[in-house]
Amino acid sequence: FLSMKLDKQLIQDHNKKLHDKHQSGFSFIADRLTTEGHDVERILAKIAALQIAIPSWALGTGGTRFSRFSGGGEPGSLEEKIADVGLLHAINRSSGAISLHIPWDIPKDAKAIKSLAKEYDLVFDAVNSNTFQDQADQELSYKYGSLSHSDKAVRKLAIEHNVDVIKHGELLGSKALTVWLADGTCFPGQQNFRKAFQRTLESLKEIYTALPDDWQMFIEYKPYEPYFYSTVIQDWGTSHLLASKLGKKAYCLVDLGHHLPNTNIEQIVATLMMEGKLGGFHFNDSKYGDDDLTVGSIKPYQLFLIFNELVYGMEDPASINPPPAWMIDASHNVKDPLEDLLQSVEAIKLAYTQALLVNKEELEAARENNDATQAQEILQHAYRTDVRPLIAEARRRAGAALHPITLFRNLNVRKQLIQERGLKTVSTGL
């Protein structure tokens, strides 16, 4: 099944069945938007262009520190992971990139892996380093930190690993390195904050030197976990400080789950874009912490407000921010990972499309007049528009499925994957 790739005819058959229902829904929204002065074709082109990278570590069932309930048919090799992302991309034509975590997914033969990905029409997004775990044969430990460690020899090991990750990425055609530094402490007094920051900066400078000119470095922040008292790169301010000190190839990476409850993430996005320092995004959703749930499952309005700032930043002709890299960073404990990813991509596209509908001129006028009521009307008019037929239409035109989850289920994909790969499978990741 997977070696055959998804037969395009299956998608056509699926679309044929849903055609009439889709067409009436699409005409309805297209007419309404046209009446409101929107250029529907322009919106469809934008929706089609948005590609979201799938993390290689999110294709299997995730777990917590308490348990992991393994799912069947999970990809056991990088080749199988590529096949899974290829399948998602064939179904939605919006997941045309894969983001690798190294050493969880070391390509043994980069050339072969690159050409396999090409067969599925996939490219390699940012490569991620891992200095939050000790590897089996590792002589020095990251228990007390990596890039920030008090021991120079440990820092050197972590720096070399990051440089090595860049080299792997170069062979695959990646153009960015994401550094998420778990380093931190569990107890007050355990660490000199200033020294830890300085050492991290020095280590990052060495990695930055090894970064090719056409690459970017994304610095991901997170307030807590795995350590529970302090984290060296705890927030966007720290990430921004490091990125500015490093230089123009260094940027901040916003992971939606990496904020303390009720943080105004859309305001962070606005500030970073204003400064030209928003490099990338890890999408997920959460109720409490870094829950890594399906995008849009808990706080869809917040996601829309974030996209409202992203669209504003991207469409601003004076913007100095490069186009951000879009990635999902999620974990699936109870859902089929592939269904969950299809839902996440859909949620991102929904929020993006709704943000495209915001009447920017009217919103600015309301703001200038301090008309809070009207500002809310304008935002929620866009947010409450059912844009699903637009996304489906963009997919249909790209040769993808009108309703991805329905197709996935009707094709019995999981059953076939279990037949191919077995019922008891474990995929690398957290």
User: In sequence order, which residues have a C-beta less than 8 Å from that of residue 421 and are 6 or more positions away?
Assistant: 72, 73, 74, 75, 76, 80
Please, which residue, 165 or 355, has the CB nearer to ligand PSV?
165
Please identify which residue in 74, 80, 183, 220 interacts with ligand PSV, judged by CB under 6 A. 220
Closest-by-Cβ residue to ligand PSV is 180
Subset of 233-292 contacting ligand PSV (CB under 6 A)? 255, 282, 290
Residue 340 and residue 330 in contact, taking contact as beta carbons nearer than 8 Å: yes
User: Judged by CB, which is closer to ligand PSV: 337, or 389?
Assistant: 337
Secondary structure E strands in 142-277: 176-180, 184-185, 216-220, 230-231, 250-255
Q: How many residues bind Mn ion (CB under 5 A)?
A: 4
Least Cβ distance, residue 220 to ligand PSV (angstroms): 5
Q: How far is the CB of 205 from Mn ion (least distance, A)?
A: 23
* Cα gap 177→159, rounded to integer Å: 13
Crossing angle of helices 337-356 and 388-397, rounded to 10°: 110
In angstroms, give the least distance from the CB of 248 to ligand PSV. 23
Which of the residues 125 through 164 are near ligand PSV (CB under 6 A)?
A: 128
- Interface pattern 99-128 for ligand PSV (x via CB under 6 A): -----------------------------x
β-strand pairing of 216-220 with 250-255 = parallel
Q: Over the range 244-282, which residues count as b (16 or more CB within 10 Å of their CB) and which as e?
A: eebeebbbbbbbbbbbeeeeebbebbbbbbbeebbbbbb
Residues 328-347 that bind ligand PSV (CB under 6 A): 329
Q: Which is nearer to ligand PSV, 255 or 336 (CB)?
A: 255
Q: Whole-angstrom Cα distance, residue 286 to residue 276? A: 27
How many Cβ atoms from other residues are within 10 Å of residue 223's Cβ?
A: 16
326 binds, among Mn ion, ligand PSV, none (CB under 5 to 8 A by kind): none
Q: Nearer to Mn ion by C-beta: 44 or 327?
A: 327
Query: Least Å distance between CB 315 and ligand PSV?
Result: 27
326 lines the binding site for ligand PSV (CB under 6 A): no
CA–CA gap between residue 395 and residue 47 (Å, rounded): 9
Residues of span 280-339 touching Mn ion by CB under 5 A: 282, 290, 329
* Smallest distance from ligand PSV to CB 302, Å: 18
- Please tell me whether the peptide bond between 103 and the residue prior to it is cis, using omega within 30 degrees of 0: yes
Task: Please choose which of Mn ion, ligand PSV, none residue 336 contacts, taking the beta carbon within 5 to 8 angstroms, the exact cut-off set by kind.
Answer: none
* From the list ligand PSV, Mn ion, none, partner contacted by residue 57 (C-beta under 5 to 8 A by kind): ligand PSV
180 forms part of the interface with ligand PSV (CB under 6 A)? yes
- Asked whether the beta carbons of 157 and 198 are under 8 A apart, the reply is no
The partner in contact with residue 128, picked from Mn ion, ligand PSV, none with C-beta cut-offs of 5 to 8 angstroms by kind, is ligand PSV
CA distance 93 to 335: 22
In angstroms, the CA 17 to CA 404 distance is 13
Identify each DSSP E strand in 225-383 by its residue range: 230-231, 250-255, 278-283, 325-328
Point out which residues bind Mn ion (CB under 5 A).
255, 282, 290, 329
Point out which residues bind ligand PSV (CB under 6 A).
57, 128, 180, 220, 222, 255, 282, 290, 329, 430
